[in-house]
Structure 1
Amino acid sequence: MLISLLVVMIVLLLMGFPMMMTMLFSTLFYMIFFMPDVETFTSVQQMVLGVQSPVLLAIPMFMLAADIMCTGQTSKRLLDFVESYVGHLPGGMATTTALTCALFGSISGSTQATVVAVGRPVRQRLLENGYDDSEVMALIINSSNLAYLIPPSLGMIVYGVASGASIGDLFIAGIGPAILILIIFSIYSAFYAKAKKLPSLKKASGKQRWLATKKCLLAFGFPLIIMGGIYTGIFSPTEAAAAAVLYAIIVEVGIYKSIKLQEIYNIALSTGVITTVVFILVAVGAAFSWIISYARVPQLIAEGILGNDPSVLTILLVVNIFFFIGCMFVEAIVVILILTPIFVPIASAAGIDLVHLGIIVTLQVAIGSGTPPFGTSIFTCSAIFDQPYLKVIKNETPYIAMLLVACVLVSAFPGISLFLGSLTQ
C-alpha cells in the first residue's frame, strides 16, 4: 500500500504536476483503492479541518507586515544601524549582513522576504568593499535562514499547527540557535576577511551611531510588539501578527512616508496571492497527513528504520537526515506538513520535547531553503540580482557546513533551544 502511494507521487511529480496536486491525487488514489469503506468526501473534511486553526491567521498577517517593510525603508535603516556598530570589525560587513538578516527576520519570519529586503541594499556595499559576488550571494542566502529561527517564523507556525506544540514556546526557543549561528558566521567572516585581506570600514563616531540608532528606533517596535505582546499575555500570536501589520502601516505610511496609502492595496493583493498558495498546501497537507497516519507510516518507519527502542540521538539523527534531504528538493511548508506527522508520534514516545524537535525541524527547513538543487532562496536571489544559478551557489558550501554544525549542536544540546523558555516559566 505504502509503495503504491509513493509510486503515484513520483509519477505525478515526473509528469510535472505541482506538489499540491500531487498530494491531493495521491490522497484520493489511496482512499479509492485501499479505503473503500471510507467516503472520498472525508478528504475534503480533513482539508477543511487543516485550515481551521485560528493560529494560521498569523501567516498572512506576518507576510503582509513583511511586504510593507520590504517596500518601505525599514531594512535600510536596520542595515545602517548594524553597520555603525560592527562594520569596523574584521569581516564587519559580512557580520552586518548576518545580523541585519536576523533583525529583519524578527519582522518578516520569511527567508525569501529577507533575501529581497536586506539583499538589495547590502550587496552593493559588500561588492564595494572587495567581496566576490558569489561569496556575497552565498552570505545573503544563508544569513536569511536566520529569519526562520527568529520569531515570528512562518515555519514555526506551520510546525506548531501540524504538531500541536506551543507556537509561543517555539518562538522563544529559536532565539538561542539563531545567536549560535550568528556567532559561527561572525567568526568565519573575520577569518575570511583576513585571508582575503579585505578592508574594514572606518569606525563610526558616537554621533553617527546615535543618529543611526535614532532612525532605527521605530523598527525595534516590531519584536517588542510581537514577543513582548505574546509573553506578557496582551496578544495571542495571531493578534500580535495583526498588531504588526497596523504598526507597519503607521511607521511606513504615516511616519517614514515611504509608502503611499494607495499602495497598501497592491501590497495586500500580492500577499493574498502567496497566502492562497500557502493555505492550499496546508489544507492538502492535512488530508495527506491523515492518509499517512492511516497507512501507519510512523510505525513502519519506527520498526523498519529506527528498530526497537531507538535512542533519542538516533531519532534526532534520522529526523535531521529526512528533513535535510526533503528540503533540498521540496518546498519547506510541504516538507513540514508531510514529515512532521510521521516523526511527532515517534519523538513523543521517546520523550523528546516537541519544542526542541520543532527547532531542529525549523533549522533544517531553513538550511534547505538555501541548499541546491531547489532551495527557494537560491532562485529568489538569482531573480532579484539577475545572476546565473551556478554563480549563485558557487560559494555556498562553507555556509551550509556551518549550519549543519549548528544543527548537530542544537540536536545534541537541547538547552541551546530550551534555556530561554525555561526562564519564562
Structure 2
Amino acid sequence: MMTVFTAVLGLVLLNVPIAVSLGMVAVIAMVISHGTDSLPNMPLVIYNGATNFPLLAIPLFILAGAIMNASGISRRLIAFASAIFGWVRGGLAHVSIGASLFFAEISGSAVADVAALGSILIPGMKAKGYPSAFAAASMSSAATLAVIIPPSIPMILYAVMAETSVVQMFVAGIVPGLIGAAGLMGMATFLSRRYNLPREAAFSLRRVLQTGRDALWAFALPIIILGGIFGGLVTATEGAALAVVAALFIGLVVYQELDMKHLRAAVMEGGVQTAVVMLLVATSALLGAYLTEVQAPQALAKAVSDFTSNKWVVLALLNVLFLFLGMFLHSAAAIILVVPIVMPLVRAVGIDPIHFGLIVTVNLGLGQQTPPVASVLMVASSISKSSVWEVTRVNVWYIGVLFAVLMLVTYVPVTGLGLVELFYR
C-alpha cells in the first residue's frame, strides 16, 4: 500500500495530473498483481465509479454557482455585506468574510467563491489602500467557509466514499462554519487595527434595507435549496438540480442580467470544473478496486489498532495525515484516495463517520491555504498580483483560526454532531 501511495504522490510532485497519476498507478498495480486478464474489467470499474447518483449533485452545484456569478448575485451579496460591515475598521475584510458566508450556501466550492468574490473585492481593497497581501489573505481564508458550510462539494464526495448521509454531513457543517466565520472576523479586526486600516462609511439602516431588498432573491436561494434538503422534501442531488433551475429563473427573469453569452460562459466554466472532479472520481475507482482486492484498508486498520485503540489518539494521527496530504493534494483527490482506505480503521475504533467527515472537510479546507498546492490561496494571490509567500505570511493568522476550529471539531464532537443528534438520531 505504501508503495502505491508513494508512487501516486511522486507522480503528482512531478506535475503529472492527479487523475492521470491515480489511473497509471492503479493500472500498473492491477496488471502486476492480477495479470492482463484484469484489463477488460477496468472500463466498467471506471464507469461505475463515476455514475454514483449522489455524485450528480457536484456538477449541478458547480453549474448553479457559475450561473449565479454570471447573474450578478455575487455583486448584490457584496453590496449587502458592505452595508452591514463597512462601518468597522478594515470593513472590506469583514465584507469578504460576510459575502463568502452567503455565497458558500450556494456554490459549495471554495475556488468558485474566491474567483467570484475575489475578482471584485481584492481590487477594491487595494484601491482603498489595503496591503495587497492582506487583501488576498482575507479573501482566501474566507473562501474556505464554502467547504464547511452546506452545500459543500467535498462533503458530498466524502459521503459517497464513506457510504454515509450527505444531508447529515451538511447539517454537521453549520455550527463549525458559523464559528469559523466569527473567528475569521475577529482576526480581521485584530489585523485591521495592526495595519491601521480605514472604515468605509458610517452605518446606515436605510442602506442595509435597500441592499437587502436588492439581494432578496439571492437570500431566498439557500432557504429554498437547504430548506428542501433538510426538510426531507428533496435529496441533495435533487436540491442541486433545484439550485440550477432557481439560478436560471433569477438570472433570466428577476435580475435580467443573464444573457446567452453569459449563460454559455457559465456552462463552460461549470463543465471544466466538473470534468476535473469527475475524472478524479473515475480514475480513483480503479485504485480503490485494487486496494480493496489486496485488503489494504483492513491491513491499515489492524496495524493502527495493534498500536492503539484510543479513538482520540487515532484522530490525532489522522489529523496529521490529512494536514500533510492537504499540502500536496487537491481536496477531492485526498478524499477519494484516502477515505476508503481509513474508513475500516475509523469504524473499528468507534469514531462516528459524520464526525470524521467533518474533521476531514475542515482539514482539507486548511490544505487549500497551505503551499505548495494551496488551490484557493493561489487564485487569491493571482488576483492580487502578490507573491504566494507574501500572502502566506499574513494568511498564517487566519490559518491559526481555522486550525482552532479543526481542534474544536475534533475534540468537542458536539460542535458538529449536536444538530445531527437533535434532528436525525
TM-score range, shorter chain: over 0.9
CA contact 2:327–2:371 (8 Å) conserved in 1: yes
Hey, what's the Cα distance between the residues in 1 that align with 2:330 and 2:287?
16
Give the alignment of 1:358-369 within 5 angstroms: 358-369=357-368
Segment drifting more, 245-254 vs 259-268: 259-268
Shift of 1:158: 0.7
Shift of 1:269: 2.5
Give CA deviations for 1:352-395 in whole Å, capped at 9, x if unaligned.
11111111111111111121111111222233344443334332
Segments of structure 1 that go 5 or more residues without pairing to the other structure are none
CA contact 2:113–2:146 (8 Å) conserved in 1: yes
- Quick one: which amino acid aligns to residue 169 of structure 1? Q
Give the alignment of 1:231-270 within 5 angstroms: 231-270=230-269
Q: What is the aligned-residue RMSD (CA, Å)?
A: 2.0
CA contact 1:84–1:203 (8 Å) conserved in 2: no
Segment drifting more, 91-100 vs 135-144: 91-100
Hey, what's the Cα distance between the residues in 2 that align with 1:319 and 1:26?
24
Name the residue aligned to 2:66: 67
- Quick one: which amino acid aligns to residue 86 of structure 1? F
Name the residue aligned to 1:279: 278
- Quick one: which amino acid aligns to residue 377 of structure 1? V
Give CA deviations for 1:174-205 in whole Å, capped at 9, x if unaligned.
11111111121122122222233323233322
- Residue 146 in structure 1 maps to residue 149 in structure 2: no
Segment drifting more, 262-271 vs 163-172: 262-271
Name the residue aligned to 1:345: 344
Give CA deviations for 1:208-255 in whole Å, capped at 9, x if unaligned.
111011011100122112211112222111111111111111112222
Shift of 1:15: 5.2
Shift of 1:17: 2.6
CA contact 2:149–2:173 (8 Å) conserved in 1: yes
- Quick one: which amino acid aligns to residue 409 of structure 2? V
Name the residue aligned to 1:115: 114
Hey, what's the Cα distance between the residues in 1 that align with 2:88 and 2:247?
32
Hey, what's the Cα distance between the residues in 2 that align with 1:15 and 1:201?
46
CA contact 2:301–2:348 (8 Å) conserved in 1: no
Name the residue aligned to 1:416: 415
Name the residue aligned to 1:212: 211
Hey, what's the Cα distance between the residues in 2 that align with 1:377 and 1:187?
21
68 and 334 in structure 1: CA distance in 2 versus 1, 3 angstrom threshold: same
37 and 21 in structure 1: CA distance in 2 versus 1, 3 angstrom threshold: closer
CA contact 2:159–2:165 (8 Å) conserved in 1: yes
Segment drifting more, 108-117 vs 87-96: 87-96
Name the residue aligned to 1:127: 126
Hey, what's the Cα distance between the residues in 2 that align with 1:420 and 1:14?
40
Hey, what's the Cα distance between the residues in 2 that align with 1:290 and 1:12?
20
Hey, what's the Cα distance between the residues in 2 that align with 1:126 and 1:272?
31
Shift of 1:299: 3.5
Name the residue aligned to 1:326: 325
10 and 364 in structure 1: CA distance in 2 versus 1, 3 angstrom threshold: closer
Shift of 1:263: 3.1
Q: What is the percentage of aligned positions where both structures have the same residue?
A: 28
CA contact 1:32–1:40 (8 Å) conserved in 2: yes
Name the residue aligned to 1:226: 225
3 and 424 in structure 1: CA distance in 2 versus 1, 3 angstrom threshold: closer
35 and 249 in structure 1: CA distance in 2 versus 1, 3 angstrom threshold: same
Give CA deviations for 1:246-283 in whole Å, capped at 9, x if unaligned.
11111122221222134323321232222122111101
Name the residue aligned to 1:5: 4
> TM (normalized to structure 2)?
0.94
Name the residue aligned to 1:397: 396
CA contact 1:91–1:186 (8 Å) conserved in 2: no
> TM (normalized to structure 1)?
0.94
Hey, what's the Cα distance between the residues in 2 that align with 1:359 and 1:3?
26
Hey, what's the Cα distance between the residues in 1 that align with 2:184 and 2:374?
20
Give the alignment of 1:166-205 within 5 angstroms: 166-205=165-204
Segment drifting more, 158-167 vs 303-312: 303-312
Name the residue aligned to 2:374: 375
Matched residue of 1:396: which SS?
A: helix
Shift of 1:331: 1.3
CA contact 1:31–1:38 (8 Å) conserved in 2: no
Hey, what's the Cα distance between the residues in 2 that align with 1:13 and 1:100?
34
Segment drifting more, 267-276 vs 159-168: 267-276
Name the residue aligned to 1:288: 287
Shift of 1:16: 4.2
Hey, what's the Cα distance between the residues in 2 that align with 1:180 and 1:202?
26
Hey, what's the Cα distance between the residues in 1 that align with 2:139 and 2:210?
26
Shift of 1:325: 0.9
CA contact 2:161–2:339 (8 Å) conserved in 1: yes
